[in-house]
A and B are shown apart, each in its own frame.
Chain A
Amino acid sequence: MSVEVDLSGVNGETAPAKLHLLPCEIEHTGPAQVAQYFTPSIRDDGQRVLQASFRGRELRGGNITLPDGYTGLVLKEKHKAVSDEEARVFHASQKFQEFTYWNMETPPSRNDALQKAMHWPDISKAVSEMLYVTSMSKFHIWSLMTMFSTFLVRILMLHVYFTMHLLIYYHYFSPFQIHAPVDRNISQNGSHTRVKLEDSSP
């Protein structure tokens, strides 16, 4: 089974997608009146914390910028693949470099899983480089966002008409495998990333 991403729909002129990641799962795929019902409810307290309400519940949020080298894409699968052999084709309709994520009541912080997860690409890169893993992968799409599948389902999308997916498209051809085939302990201190490796393979 293979996955193809058609990038012809996005170019430099495509307006960036405005996305909100909500702390809930909305059992709905399709258009929604975000501009009428949600965007006008957003208040900025001037201290980088945003406030809004959804279904009467208080939300606190902030903007997240994607890690360097990554671009967010709004993907749409126009036709479902019928068999496992058939390639799945996704069409990119919009790009994004940042999105807004919302917590219930608590202001966004560096301890939020999502903010912490955004450090992983840097760590992963450091790990790969240290291991000198040289197995080549020709075209590596690393779907970071799909990894956060629990978050993903909840993304509230603008201009969404069919089944849509989000992923982060690894920007350049990576010569390294992201995942090193060894057990390891990774510790992270502050903004500096320190990686400690313990090879437990025999």
Chain B
Amino acid sequence: MNLRDFEEDNAKSCVIGSDVPGVTKGEPCCLGIDEAGRGPVLGPMVYGICYCPLSGQDRLKDMGFADSKTLSEEQREKLFEAIAGAGEFMGWTIHILAPNAISNCMLRRSKYNLNTLSHDTAIGLIQRTLDSGVNLQEVYVDTVGDASKYQDKLKGIFPDLDITVTPKADSKFPIVSAASICAKVSRDRAVKGWGFFEETESNKISRQFGSGYPSDPETKKWLASMVEPVFGFTQFVRFSWSTAGKILDDKAVTVNWDDEDEDEKAATPSVLSFFAAKGEDPKQKKHQYFQERFLHSVTDFGS
């Protein structure tokens, strides 16, 4: 697996995939989907898919796939090598969601939550596999949110596919386990090799960030220690996580966004305001032309 495309610009999400094995274009295939790095406040979230002919599933079992979380890093690396070595019958694709892309999505004005982002990424990967000519028949997905709703959503989009969405799919289906290994291995590599563009000679960034989970004291300590008063964190951090937000509230300068004001102004005015004397003389009011452009006459600088 070569993460070079992502490492070139780790502020943007990126899709990387193996060659499509010829056999998967002919024989009916199954596909597994899993993700890695959903919980951490740091680094990318990675979506992985693996696919192979239905007839190859026994071979998968023999290769020893299991839930990637129960395997050691070493075992996962070995299994990933096995996937890469089985290129004649297995294909894989990963979608790396950059932490900056996750923050951007979740902090948008119109809400776009992590579950929707996950669903859309999975849908994109299935579509991509179909587009590459793979004869897909069965799809197994580790659930995000409510399994039956997610399954209905996927079936609505891909009515010709036999789709199974279930919790713990990676321990039930070897193809999902293989997908979870692709996701987990690439997430680990991306985190390990993270290039901090904020780093300079005078501004060294420590790599002692622990597991990346918000509950990890080492991660919390790292977050608190690296706060830059104006900009907050490096883009390695997911600003949209409440852990990150709380640390910024405490340690960084306050930033008031234009759209936050709007929400307050939109609140229903107090009944009293209808009876109060109007403060401004309407004749003094600026023409709409100036109001729209925020133009005011001034005779002095602000202090």
Contact = CB atoms under 8 A, between A and B. Distances in A.
B258 A24 contact: yes
A41 B197 contact: yes
Given A33-B203, A36-B200, A57-B107, A26 B302 contact: no
A82 interface: no
Contact of B109 (A40, A104, A148, A185): A104
Given A23-B258, A53-B11, A117 B301 contact: no
B231 interface: yes
A139 to B, nearest CB: 14
Interface string B285-303: 0010100111111101111
B298 A149 contact: yes
Nearest to B245: A56
A55 B298 contact: no
B11 A41 contact: yes
Nearest to A163: B303
B109 A105 contact: yes
Interface string A50-63: 00011111100000
Given A41-B197, A105-B109, A55 B231 contact: yes
Given A148-B295, A149-B296, A57 B104 contact: yes
Q: Is the interface of B mostly helix, strand, loop or mixed?
A: loop
Residues of B in contact with A, size category: 35 or more
Contact of A146 (B203, B234, B257, B298): B298
B100 A90 contact: no
Interface stretch (B23-31, B133-141, B235-243): B235-243
A167 B299 CA distance: 12
Contacts of B289: 186, 188
A130 interface: no
A70 interface: no
Nearest to A27: B254
Given A53-B235, A55-B231, A55-B248, A167 B301 contact: yes
A152 B235 CA distance: 27
Interface string B72-109: 00000000000000000000000000001001100111
A153 to B, nearest CB: 8
Interface string A12-44: 000000000001111110001100111011010
B232 A55 contact: yes
B230 interface: yes
A90 B301 contact: yes
Given A149-B302, A186-B287, A23 B257 contact: yes
Contacts of A113: 292-294
B268 interface: no
A56 B298 contact: no
Query: Main secondary structure on chain A at its contact with chain B?
Result: mixed
B131 interface: no
A163 B254 CA distance: 18
Contacts of A37: 198, 228, 230-231, 234
Interface in B244-260: 244, 248, 253-259
A110 interface: no
A64 interface: no
B145 interface: no
A165 interface: yes
Given A25-B255, A41-B197, A113-B293, A32 B107 contact: no
Interface of B: 9, 11-12, 100, 103-104, 107-109, 197-200, 203, 228-232, 234-235, 238-240, 244, 248, 253-259, 287, 289, 292-298, 300-303
30 contacts: A26-B253, A27-B256, A28-B230, A28-B253, A32-B231, A33-B203, A33-B230, A36-B198, A36-B203, A37-B231, A40-B197, A40-B198, A41-B11, A43-B9, A43-B11, A53-B100, A54-B231, A56-B100, A56-B238, A57-B104, A58-B108, A104-B258, A113-B292, A116-B293, A120-B293, A146-B298, A149-B294, A152-B302, A156-B230, A183-B287
